[in-house]
Structure 1
Amino acid sequence: MILERERERERARERERERERERERERERERERERERGRERQRETEREREREREREREREREREREREREREREREREREFVCVY
C-alpha cells in the first residue's frame, strides 16, 4: 500500500516534470519566433533602404538627363546664334 502510493507520487512528479519540459520547449519556440520576427523586420528595413537608394539613383539619373538636355539646348542656341551672324 505504501509502496503503491510512493509509485503514484513518483508518476505524478514525472508528469509534472514532463509538463515543465513542454512549457520550456514552448518558451523556446516563442523565443525563436520572436528572433525570426526581428530578423524579418531587419530584412524589411534593409529592403526599404535599398529601394530608397534606388529611388535616389533614379533621381540623380533624371537630374543628369535634365542637365544634358539643358546643355543640348545651349549648344542649339549657340548654333542658331552663329548661323544668324
Structure 2
Amino acid sequence: CLPMARHVIWSKKKVKQRNNEREREREREREREREREREREREREREKVVSVCVCERERERERERERER
C-alpha cells in the first residue's frame, strides 16, 4: 500500500513539474512574440519617419521652385 502511495505522489509531482515547464515554455513563447511585435512596431515607426522625411524634402523642393519663379 505504501509504495503505491509513494508512486502516486511521485507521479503527481512529475505531472505538476511537466505542467510548470510547459507553462514556462508558453510564457517564453509569448514573450518572444511580444518582442517580435515590438520590433515590427519599431520598423513601422521607422518607415513612417522615413516617408515623412521624403514628403518634407518634396515640399522643400516645391518651395524652392516657387522661389525661383
TM category, shorter: 0.7 to 0.9
Q: TM-score, normalised by structure 2?
A: 0.82
Percent identical among aligned pairs is 47
Match of 1:2 among 2, 9, 21: 9
- The answer to whether the aligner puts 1:46 opposite 2:53 as a matched pair is yes
Instruction: Show structure 1 runs of 4+ deviating over 3 A.
Output: none
Larger radius of gyration: 1
- The answer to whether the aligner puts 1:17 opposite 2:24 as a matched pair is yes
| Structure 2: gaps of 5 or more residues | 1-7
Secondary structure (helix, strand or coil) at the match of 2:28 reads helix
- Aligned residues between the structures: 62
State the Cα RMSD in Å.
Answer: 1.0
Secondary structure (helix, strand or coil) at the match of 2:20 reads helix
Give the Cα separation in 2 of the matches to 1:9 and 1:56. 70
Q: TM-score, normalised by structure 1?
A: 0.68
